[in-house]
Structure 1
Amino acid sequence: MSLSCLSLRNQNYMAMYSSIFGGITKDPSAMVIPIDDHMVHRGHGVFDTAAIMDGHLYELDQHLDRFLRSALMAKIPLLFDRSTIRSILIQTVSASNCTQGSLRYWLSVGPGDFQLSSSGCANPALYAVIESPSLQVPAGCKVVTSSIPIKSPQFAVMKSVNYLPNALTKVEGEENGAFTGIWLDDKGFVAEGSNMNVGFVTADKELLIPCFDKILSPHSKAGFDPG
């Protein structure tokens, strides 16, 4: 998998770190991951993000803590300790010279084979990509309730790469002329969007948000978390 076909998309990938080659590259043709990485063909990986605002990483530590919790839940051993991962992420952002954008990072059980079990993977793999500009969410948008089944709480609170339900919810919303779809929980209450949290401002200017016991808790600006 490569990020090199930039001429076909309006994207700007400014830097990538990979533990596979043990460093940072700014060459899009080198921004690749092995096809036998279990994150690719089995979805056995976790990820998180952090906004880059005016050259600063927004709430990196909170996102990194969630990243490590997700890795523990997904039974992915850490390749490095927390401080080393944090340093790698900061160095990657610094090398990119990005001042407005996003940091996206992944931890996989690693490459090794095409089996279901990760026992054939020699080492986990850490990747990070700097993207500028980050995707902007419209100030106002239309949403629809989704017919795609919501994730079970066990997987909803884990930020894994298994985003097929999320992608289908987004597609369903677009097919119905909306920005995205919104999930309802098993009791019919509003839960979350395809890759962001949902909130309501009442007539009394009170912000109401769903409980986070069955959905992914936010760590981004204003409490809403774009995935």
Structure 2
Amino acid sequence: MSRIAYVNGRYVRHSEAAVSIDDRAFLFADGIYEVIEIFGGKLIDEAGHLERLNRSARELLLKLPVGERALKLILRELVARNGVAYGHVYLQVTRGVARRDHFFPKAGTPTTLVAFAHRSDRAAAEAKAQAGIKVISLPDIRWKRPDIKSTSLLPNVLAKQQAKDFGAYEAWLVDEEGFVTEGSSSNAWIVDADGALVTHPADSGILRGITRARLFEIAAAHQIRIVERRFTVVEAKAAREAFITGATTLVMPVVAIDGEKIGGGAPGPVALGLRAAFHGFAPASE
């Protein structure tokens, strides 16, 4: 089966999908995106992702090209046409095609909408969770609005590659005061000595993760306390457990930070328990 993508009103072969080299995303990274999990052929936490897409658009003064109902139909059509039972759908909206100029294009310039779906290896993901991942810590050099899910991800890409070069999966970003903000492509968590989940407050310093938000509901159901506060790398290394969250990783245990083992160097029961409970709480699309 050929993969099918959506580009500005048309479903096309993924290999033939294209946008203009004058698109603002290509020239300025002037766009926003979302990644939504597909589980059992359903879109997980779709409402939260689309709400965040709308928020990002408002913050960047960017007009979405279609309404929510139409967007939902497009996403479902992509899942169906690509036959994806387990995987992810990616959608991106840009300020459109215009002559290269830092000023916004003239009023009425159509925005660009691109989306595609792809499969993921569930067995490989579960094996990774059972083994746990390693992270490294790096200075957070991103712009000051990571709460907007912008396509401007060069600092994230550099951090992710540096993690890979050090044999790790993720990089935890550290602000000028020495506090962990989040991962290059995930939210960061620790389990403190009292068994509470600790994560950075959802202010403009981090992305308001949809999976992160769902964990509040799961934790409450399991009588696990969540504390939104900053924590340092030193505190993280001394924690009972650590983990990351995101639409592509769900709850993924961290077993080492900067080469130092966390919680004995094996995934802990809290992180694995939250991961196992996730799809029992996360709403699936109709």
Same fold (TM over 0.5): yes
What is the match of residue 207 of structure 2?
Answer: 216
CA contact (8 A) 2:37 2:247 kept: no
Amino acid at match of 2:66: F
The question of 1:123 aligning with 2:110 is answered yes
The question of 1:149 aligning with 2:180 is answered no
Amino acid at match of 1:18: V
List per-residue Cα deviations over 1:44-103 (Å, max 9, x = no partner).
Answer: 000001000011110111000001110111111121222222222222222222101100
Taking the aligned partners of 1:35 and 1:130, their CA distance within structure 2 comes to 23
Across the aligned residues of Structure 1 and Structure 2, the Cα RMSD in angstroms comes to: 2.3
Larger mean CA deviation between 80-89 and 68-77 belongs to 80-89
Residues 73-112 of structure 1: matches in 2 within 5 Å? 73-112=59-98
CA contact (8 A) 1:52 1:58 kept: yes
Unaligned stretches of 5+ in structure 2? 216-244, 249-286
Report how far residue 218 of structure 1 moved. 1.1
Identity across matched positions, percent: 25
Report how far residue 13 of structure 1 moved. 7.8
What is the match of residue 177 of structure 2?
Answer: 187
Report how far residue 132 of structure 1 moved. 1.2
Report how far residue 105 of structure 1 moved. 0.2
The structure in which a higher percent of residues are strand is: 2
What is the match of residue 45 of structure 1?
Answer: 31
Taking the aligned partners of 1:144 and 1:129, their CA distance within structure 2 comes to 31
Amino acid at match of 1:38: R
The structure in which a higher percent of residues are helix is: 2
What is the match of residue 16 of structure 1?
Answer: 5
What is the match of residue 18 of structure 2?
Answer: 32
Q: How many residues align?
A: 211
User: 2:161 aligned to 151, 154, 171, which one?
Assistant: 171
Taking the aligned partners of 1:16 and 1:129, their CA distance within structure 2 comes to 5
What is the match of residue 225 of structure 1?
Answer: 246
CA contact (8 A) 1:15 1:24 kept: yes
CA contact (8 A) 1:50 1:60 kept: yes
**Larger Cα-atom Rg:** 2
TM-score calculated relative to the size of structure 1: 0.84
What is the match of residue 158 of structure 1?
Answer: 148
User: 1:61 aligned to 30, 39, 47, which one?
Assistant: 47
Matched position secondary structure for 2:133: coil
Report how far residue 226 of structure 1 moved. 4.4
Unaligned stretches of 5+ in structure 1? 1-11
Amino acid at match of 1:133: S
Taking the aligned partners of 2:38 and 2:104, their CA distance within structure 1 comes to 33
CA contact (8 A) 1:166 1:194 kept: yes
Amino acid at match of 1:146: L
